[in-house]
Structure 1
Amino acid sequence: MKTTLFSKFSKRALLFVLSIAYAVTANAQGGGAAGIDAGASELTTYIDPIGNLILIIGAIVGLVGGVRVYIKWNSGDNDVQKSIMGWVGSCVFLMVVGTIVKAFFGV
């Protein structure tokens, strides 16, 4: 069976019309912006507790680091300064991250 030029054209035209109709119905679903807004507000409710948790972990790391540095200092270790810098650096990092997370999301 031989296909004619008109038959090929009509198949392509039908495919084009169906794809346009599909795109129009896909865009007509609505609620996309409302869903994004709902997701953003849901995410904002989690940010404040996560920021507080990071700050609490930073405080605990600071306390543990202080105790470990004190023990090293009393035992007479030579690398007390290196240990202080490591613990203080990690504590400062966690405090800054907790604050930046809150500031980034505007909480």
Structure 2
Amino acid sequence: MKRYCAVRIKCVGRKYYVRLSILTLTALLNLVSLAAYCQDGAAGVTNATDEVKKYFSIGIDLMYAVGAVLGLIGATKVYTKWNSGDQDTSKVASQWFGSCIFLVVVATILRGFFKVA
């Protein structure tokens, strides 16, 4: 039984389909890269910078929120350990408090370092 590809090349197996699809994909990527070279580079970089700054500010606010939630969870865990009489209450308290402080300090340093309003 003989099979023929879409471009009338005699196929022995699927390797010609793979080669044809790779060739088509390569040609398409070359066309896309050619279109990218025709764009204004400075305006694109400025737009990208503005978008990243917008999402960066949202990310910093998210880090503050995660720090607050971790603080509440940590306070609850320390309270239950303290009421149950566990010996490692201070260790758990310092770990939870340290993680909250770390998130807040990292968010503050990132905001100051990248001068995000």
Per the normalisation by structure 2, the TM-score is: 0.63
Aligned mates of 1:85, 1:93 — CA distance in 2? 12
Give the structure with the larger helix fraction.
1
Structure 1: runs of 5+ lacking an equivalent: 1-27
In our comparison, the structure showing a higher alpha carbon Rg is: 1
Higher relative contact order (CA 8 A, sep 6+): 1
CA offsets per residue over residues 25-69 of structure 1, 9 Å max, x none? Answer: xxx956111111110011111111111111000000001000100
Aligned mates of 2:43, 2:113 — CA distance in 1? 22
- How many aligned residue pairs are there? 80
Q: 2:51 maps to what in 1?
A: 42
Q: 1:86 maps to what in 2?
A: 95
Aligned mates of 1:40, 1:98 — CA distance in 2? 19
Per the normalisation by structure 1, the TM-score is: 0.69
Identity %: 44
Structure 2: runs of 5+ lacking an equivalent: 1-36
Q: Alpha-carbon deviation of 1:105? A: 2.3
